[in-house]
């Protein structure tokens, strides 16, 4: 059944976007195992290719090919290599050390991956993090969501530099070597695209939490405090904004308040303990903790200090929020508090009544999460979940709640409160405030319906 996107709620371009996303998700779901029988193992409850299915694929190979599993590269999920699987792993020596060339791969039985929004072009598109597959709060670098406006540039760090100029006492150019030498700082923060959930304003649309919430990821970032560079160059009188410019073919630009630049902004060159990935801005990215993802300029090459914002395309034609009265909110930079249950979530199936641990992620762009409550009755009553330490500022926080499902149909929800006292709203409250003209900044409570058969679906409640 095809969801409909009525013209009073969706513009032509929004409808096309929503339809395309639905199609992509359907395709992703079709290529995974939907016929798998129920099982007690946790794998069986998840969408995506299970270990059992992967084993079945291997077992179906003719014996002659089984000994050449590595030659069957197409059977290995991205980031892995297909190796022989013996009936008895103790019967023979395993493969030799450094057979991976010195850089490791994940297990061939792990299939978690991003999927892409089906834009017409492959270079202006976005991909979503499979957050239901995650553990803890760190997103593996290879699964961090992406948004590119003109593809991923390949930049030699030896030939890359950052220019800081404009309303400063001394304009300067910093090479990567200059930045590596400076005192460094490491912090763990989420980045969320302000378009996360863009299909969900008017009606529940995508089926999985990867579709509804996959435009957020958390990494440990290392780099230099932007305030250090501004102190070296000397900020001039009247400085109020700073333009950040990327070295991609879109020459992506955003204006950032100087107060943010002097507060906790970072220029990052590392992610999760190694150099930042090319698709995340190698060799240098602006990191603005808690701000919408588009402002974290990748492949950063220029910073210009000014007394006013630059009013670039990405802060006038895009990334503004059109309100019901026709006025648009500008520079809505901070991401509001939000949470979502990742287990159980859309397209999963609970095999039978009994014990489950409800788990999910909560975050706020304005501080840290102080409380996450879970409702199993559509919001009539709430129970406080446990927060997994450490609970960090502007960072995904894992919450958990032991739960006994009695086998009845119900609606599961989570609701975050952040350190400013802000409480995550319902979708009805948010729509009453903002209308449905804008696709950005949807932070409403997510509802998952559990049917008596244990099937989990995306609903508005
Ligand atoms: Co915004």
The answer to whether residues 195 and 206 touch, using CB atoms and an 8 Å cutoff, is no
List beta partners, residue 257.
Answer: 241
Record the pTM. 0.88
Render pLDDT for 255-313 as a digit per residue (tens, 0 to 9).
999 999 999 999 999 999 999 999 999 999 999 999 999 999 999 999 999 999 999 99
Mean pLDDT in residue range 229-244: 97
CA–CA separation, 153 and 251 (whole Å): 11
**Count of beta carbons in the 10 Å neighbourhood of residue 408:** 10
Distance from Cα 440 to the centre of ligand 1, integer Å: 6
Distance from Cα 136 to the centre of ligand 1, integer Å: 27
The answer to whether residues 301 and 334 touch, using CB atoms and an 8 Å cutoff, is no
HEC sequence for 220-250: EEEEEEHHHHHHHHCECCCCCEEEEEECCCC
Protein residues placing their CB within 5 Å of the ion ligand 1: 194, 292, 332, 440
Distance from Cα 310 to the centre of ligand 1, integer Å: 16
What topology is assigned to 338-459 in CATH? Immunoglobulin-like (2.60.40)
In 3D, which of 372, 382, 370 has the Cα closest to residue 342?
372
Q: What is the pLDDT of residue 22?
A: 83
Q: What is the pLDDT of residue 35?
A: 43
CA–CA separation, 427 and 449 (whole Å): 15
Distance from Cα 49 to the centre of ligand 1, integer Å: 35
Distance from Cα 331 to the centre of ligand 1, integer Å: 6
Distance from Cα 327 to the centre of ligand 1, integer Å: 14
Distance from Cα 288 to the centre of ligand 1, integer Å: 13
Distance from Cα 312 to the centre of ligand 1, integer Å: 14
CATH dotted code for 148-329: 3.90.420.10
Q: Where are the domains of the chain?
A: 148-329, 338-459
CA–CA separation, 408 and 403 (whole Å): 13
Give the chain's count of helices (H) and strands (E): 8, 24
Distance from Cα 186 to the centre of ligand 1, integer Å: 26
Render pLDDT for 155-196 as a digit per residue (tens, 0 to 9).
999 999 999 999 999 999 999 999 999 999 999 999 999 999
């Amino acid at each position: 059944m095809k969801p409909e996107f009525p013209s009073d709620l969706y513009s032509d371009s929004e409808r096309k976007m929503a339809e395309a996303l639905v199609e992509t998700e359907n395709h992703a779901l079709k290529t995974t195992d939907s016929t798998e029988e129920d099982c007690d193992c946790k794998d069986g409850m998840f969408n995506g290719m299970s270990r059992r299915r992967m084993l079945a694929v291997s077992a179906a190979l003719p014996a002659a090919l089984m000994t050449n599993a590595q030659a069957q590269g197409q059977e290995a999920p991205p980031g892995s290599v297909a190796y022989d699987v013996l009936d008895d792993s103790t019967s023979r020596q395993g493969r030799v050390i450094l057979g991976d060339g010195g850089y490791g791969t994940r297990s061939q039985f792990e299939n978690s991956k991003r999927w892409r929004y089906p834009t017409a072009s492959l270079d202006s598109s976005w991909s979503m993090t499979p957050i239901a597959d995650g553990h803890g709060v760190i997103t593996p670098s290879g699964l961090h969501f992406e948004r590119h406006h003109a593809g991923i540039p390949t930049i030699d760090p030896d030939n890359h530099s950052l220019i800081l100029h404009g309303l400063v006492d001394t304009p300067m150019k910093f090479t990567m070597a200059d930045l590596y030498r400076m005192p460094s700082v490491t912090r763990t923060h989420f980045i969320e695209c302000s378009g996360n959930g863009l299909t969900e304003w008017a009606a529940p649309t995508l089926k999985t939490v990867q579709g509804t919430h996959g435009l957020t990821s958390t990494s440990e970032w290392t780099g230099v405090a932007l305030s250090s560079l501004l102190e070296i160059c000397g900020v001039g009188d009247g400085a109020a904004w700073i333009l950040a410019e990327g070295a991609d073919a879109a020459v992506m630009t955003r204006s950032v308040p100087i107060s943010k630049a002097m507060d906790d902004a970072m220029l990052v060159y590392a992610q999760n303990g190694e150099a930042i990935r090319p698709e995340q801005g190698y060799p240098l990215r602006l990191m603005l903790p808690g701000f919408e993802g588009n402002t974290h300029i990748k492949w950063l090459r220029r910073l210009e200090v000014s007394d006013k914002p630059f009013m670039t395309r990405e802060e006038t034609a895009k990334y503004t929020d059109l309100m019901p009265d026709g006025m648009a909110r500008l520079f809505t930079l901070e991401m509001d508090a939000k949470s979502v249950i990742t287990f159980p979530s859309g397209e999963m199936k609970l095999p039978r009544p009994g014990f489950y641990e409800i788990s999910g992620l909560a975050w706020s762009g304005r501080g840290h999460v102080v409380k996450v409550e879970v409702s199993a009755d559509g919001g009539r009553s709430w129970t406080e979940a446990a927060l997994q330490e450490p609970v960090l500022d502007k960072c995904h926080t894992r919450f958990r709640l032991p739960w006994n499902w009695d086998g009845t149909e119900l609606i599961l929800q989570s609701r975050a409160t952040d350190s400013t006292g802000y409480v995550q709203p319902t979708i009805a409250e948010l729509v009453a405030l903002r209308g449905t003209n804008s696709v950005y900044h949807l932070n409403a409570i997510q509802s998952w319906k559990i049917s008596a058969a244990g099937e989990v679906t995306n609903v508005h409640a």
